[in-house]
Structure 1
Amino acid sequence: MWTIALSSRKESRLFENAFHPSFSPDGSRIAVDASWAGPRRIWTVDARGRNPEQVSTDVSEAVAHLRPRWSPDSRRIVFQSVEGTRFGVRVVDVASKATVRVVDEPYASLDPVWSPNGRFIYFSSYRGGGINLWRVPVGAEGAAAGPAQQLTTGAGQDVQPSLARDGRKLAFATLKQNADLWKLPLSPDTGRPAGPGEEVVATTREDSRGNWSPDARRIAFNSDRSGDMNVWIASSDGAAPRQITRGAGGDFQPTWSQDGSRLAFFSSRSGHLNVWTAELESGRLTQLTRNRSIDINPFYSPDGRSIAYVSDQGGRLEVWAMNADGSGARPLTSTGVLGHFLRWTGGGTKIVYRCPSFGGAARTLEVPLDGGEPQPLAEVAGGAHMSFSPDFSKVLDVVGHKTIWISPLAGGSPEPVFEFDDPDVRIDYPVWSPDGRWVLFDRFRPQGGDVWLMENLD
């Protein structure tokens, strides 16, 4: 870690193996993240790099603390916690070392910063489908004092927020990416590749989150090729693309009804993230949930009578279910939900989901639709975006955003089935086709970025 005197341009080396320095408002202390005494934690040193003091602690050595930023009164530090693929926001009191969780959910929350008046913490999150800017009100102790508010709805990745001193202007970077839909032929018997991967839907914009129709002849996906992130469909070879939804905001992650006549998706077009449906023949849109909470990731049941989805209206993200017309909404779990993963099993009587764990690996659980305690399904070493084979004997997952792996559900060693060699490319969201012959997945490639300014914040 180095400092530079702006008047003389003189550089001074302070210490080693520390990152993300942040000066306290009075300039007397520097906060950093460092692994000087074990796992990466938040430390402070004086302006000369002396008198180090560890500020943050954690019960788990698997959790890292990163990117500290001081509060305006120098009493607290906000930082990013990382456990595997789980990114949260915490605040630590510098004097007492007490830590509170501000944002704790399966959706990565990044780059937290304070507002100049100390009343808000701004951060990036992909809880709405894309990576957008959010802010959460905080109380005197740094804990959340209300629900988070979404500030941007663009299709790019909005990151690294920075506020002007008066708190009314917000600068941020938008990272652009190109996303294509690819498919890989698989043997229905073994799940192993039956040929090379091929591009299905490709534009210069983002085409992602593909899902197969029940007859495997069509795919639905979200795309910003028209300017806004909306829902589209195409034939399974990518031909005849057709726009289903239109309008500002964002429409994400469409899934099919069993008869192929409509799509369920989640959208921010109402100002909040809610579940909607679209009738393919008429184009009619229907809003099913009307909450100020986050309602996302809807999936139709096999009989088309119910929709499972993820909602935080009870305080944190859980599995919910409702009738296909939006009535009868009810929570099914109280364990928390990890990622975008929900799947129906048992002919539509149960829902499989991933449960986060602070003390170890995430678990795969199965919860009955009519109520009851979730039960472990299997010890599947999968992530947040697994996909089951049609006969429910195998599971696909992406490891490191580079490789698609297949594992027997009954146990056994996972094996790689597909990988991109390009270091700039990442893949995600594999979806097995209903006939077991294909897997559809996203391929992402970065395309640079821009800096934007948001004004007149209140």
Structure 2
Amino acid sequence: MYERGNELWSLALAARDARRVAEGLQGSGTFDMGDPWALAPDGRYLALVRNAEGQAALSFVALPGGRPQVVARYPGRIDALYWSHDAAQVAFVINRRDERTGDLLEASLRLYNVARQREVTLYQETFTDPSTVRQEMWLEGWVPGNGALYVAQAMDRTDDPGTLYALDAASGQFRLISSDYSLKGGQAVSPAVSRVLLRGRSTGRTSPLYVARAAPDGTLSDIALLSPEDWIVGAVAWRPDGQEVVAERLEAEAHGTFAGHLWLLAPGGSEPRQLTTDPSFREEQPVWTADGRQIIFGRWLAAQPQPAGLWAWDSSTAEVTLLDEAGVRPQAAGKVR
């Protein structure tokens, strides 16, 4: 699944069969992130949100061939969706703000069970008193095992990098995880090996990648560097079997710009391997196919924020192939159906 302009398209790689699934996404296909969407790990459903005029509409599409069906509307905005690893539930945070001042008025975290068509509110807080300390919440991902979610809380509209918690998916109880680390962007959790990819609090001009073991309650242990310490790492993705990680490495260039290429990292300690090198492009949002044989990613022109297509890197040949000249921001099912 990937963005193509303001549309979402599905692509069956073996047959190179591309089909439009949804349209009308706001801001998609541009350099800025648009309406959020998420493909279920088993590839059976697509969840998507349309944010417009102070409301968020949550929809699902049954795949293949279904049409978007709106299941709920909420006052406020939804910025991210995360499927549980068993593809049973979608988690999302709704933030409602004052239209005039932008102050956070209410934040809630909810779970929607697709099969049961049932919604549960795990967390909700309303900020009405002007003296109330407003804490913004955002989702980081599901803990391996589906029993909890990683969330971060920070002072609203400040430079506070936030504190990482695990929120129990049954009771809604918080567990403090770390004030020093948060989950990396992309596919940072591997349910196959119960490991997570982390970033530390900013240490100047570098942002290396860390790996840690994750217990069912979200507790982290054995935190260790995965990338070289002087790297700046962008989005990441675990191979479905949890044996390798693909990562964007950002390298500073003149005039405050960055070159971005893909590298392969392994928790076992092998040397990093560079996968893409073309200086004309900047690669972003890599994902693995379910069989672990290919990495799908978007490209942008290095000289300007213009999309340069959806591409695939093949592990057997190390060749890079263009899939769709207008595609960007892919997601892939993590299981073979």
Normalised TM-score (structure 1): 0.44
Contact 2:286 2:295 in 1 (8 A): no
- The aligned amino acid for 1:318 is P
Relative to structure 1, is the Cα distance of residues 288 and 391 closer, same or farther in structure 2, using a 3 angstrom cutoff? same
Residue 416 and residue 253 in structure 1: after superposition, are their counterparts in 2 closer, same or farther (change >3 A)?
A: farther
Q: Which structure is higher in RCO with an 8 Å CA cutoff and minimum separation 6?
A: 2
Asked if the contact 2:288/2:332 (under 8 Å) is kept, the reply is yes
Q: Is the 8 A contact 1:228 1:250 kept in 2?
A: no
1:286 to 153, 165, 175: 175
**Which residue, 252, 266, 272 being the options, matches 1:374?**
272
Alignment of 1:321-400 (within 5 A): 321-324=211-214, 325-333=219-227, 334=229, 335-338=231-234, 341-345=235-239, 347-359=241-253, 361-378=259-276, 383-392=283-292, 393=294, 395=296, 397=298
Q: Which residue of 2 aligns with 1:241?
A: 119
| Superposition CA RMSD, Å | 4.3
**1:318 match:** 208
- For the residues of structure 1 that align with 2:222 and 2:77, how far apart are their CA atoms? 35
Q: Secondary structure at the match of 2:245?
A: strand
The amino acid that maps onto 1:409 is W
- 2:90, 2:299 → 1: CA distance? 20
- Partner residue of 1:415 out of 320, 324, 327: 324
* SS of corresponding position for 1:307: strand
Cα distance change, pair 398–261 in 1 and its aligned pair in 2 (3 A): farther
Offset at residue 336 of structure 1 (A): 0.5
Q: 1:216 aligns with which of 87, 91, 99?
A: 87
Amino acid aligned to 2:139:
Q
Superposition deviation, residue 354 in structure 1: 0.8
Conservation of the 8 A alpha-carbon contact between 1:310 and 1:320 = yes
CA shift digits 1:399-457 (9 cap, x unpaired): 79999964333221131688xxxxxxxxx9754343478xxxxxxxxxxxxxxxxxxxx
Residue deviations 1:7-65, cap 9 Å, x none?
xxxxxxxxxxxxxxxxxxxxxxxxxxxxxxxxxxxxxxxxxxxxxxxxxxxxxxxxxxx
CA contact (8 A) 1:186 1:436 kept: no
1:232 aligns with 2:110: yes
Largest Rg, 1 or 2: 1
178-187 or 309-318, larger mean C-alpha shift: 178-187
Q: 1:301 aligns with which of 184, 190, 199?
A: 190
Deviations 1:309-357 (A, max 9, x none): 222354332211223222333332231012xx22112622332221113
Q: Which amino acid is the alignment partner of residue 323 of structure 2?
A: P
Note closer, same or farther for the CA distance 1:323–1:202 as it changes in structure 2 (3 Å cut).
same
Q: Deviations over 1:148-168 (max 9, x none)?
A: xxxxxxxxxxxxxxxxxxxxx
Q: In structure 2, what residue type is equivalent to 1:356?
A: L
Q: CA deviation at 1:232?
A: 2.4
Asked if 2 retains the 8 angstrom alpha-carbon contact of 1:200 and 1:236, the reply is: no
Structure 1 contact 181–208 (Cα < 8 Å) conserved: no
Amino acid at match of 1:389: T
Post-superposition shift, 1:362?
A: 0.9
Q: 1:399 to 1:252 in 2, by over 3 A?
A: farther
Distance 1:397 1:179 in 2: 27
Question: Which whole-Å CA distance do the structure 1 matches of 2:56 and 2:313 have between them?
Answer: 30
Q: Distance in 1 between matches of 2:298 and 2:144?
A: 24
1:245 is matched by which residue type in structure 2? Y
1:51 is aligned to none
* 1:412 partner SS: strand
In structure 1, C-alpha distance between the alignment counterparts of 2:272 and 2:136, rounded to whole Å: 32
CA separation of 1:354/1:219 partners in 2, compared to 1, >3 Å: closer, same or farther?
A: same
Q: TM-score, with normalisation over the residues of structure 2?
A: 0.58
3-state SS of the aligned residue for 1:281? coil
How has the CA–CA distance of structure 1 residues 370 and 435 changed in structure 2, closer, same or farther, with 3 Å as cutoff? Answer: closer
| CA displacement at 1:254 relative to structure 2 | 3.4
Aligned sequence identity (%): 14
SS in 2 for 1:432: coil
Contact 2:56/2:76 (8 A) holds in 1: yes
Amino acid at match of 1:391: D
User: One-letter code of the match for 2:169?
Assistant: L
**Distance in 2 (alpha carbons) for counterparts of 1:405 and 1:182:** 26
- The 8 Å contact of residues 352 and 366 in structure 1, kept in 2 or not, is answered as yes
Aligned residue for 2:151?
A: 265
CA displacement at 1:267 relative to structure 2: 2.5
Picking from 148, 165, 176, the partner of 1:276 is: 165
Aligned-partner SS, 1:414: strand
Report how many aligned residue pairs link the two structures: 248
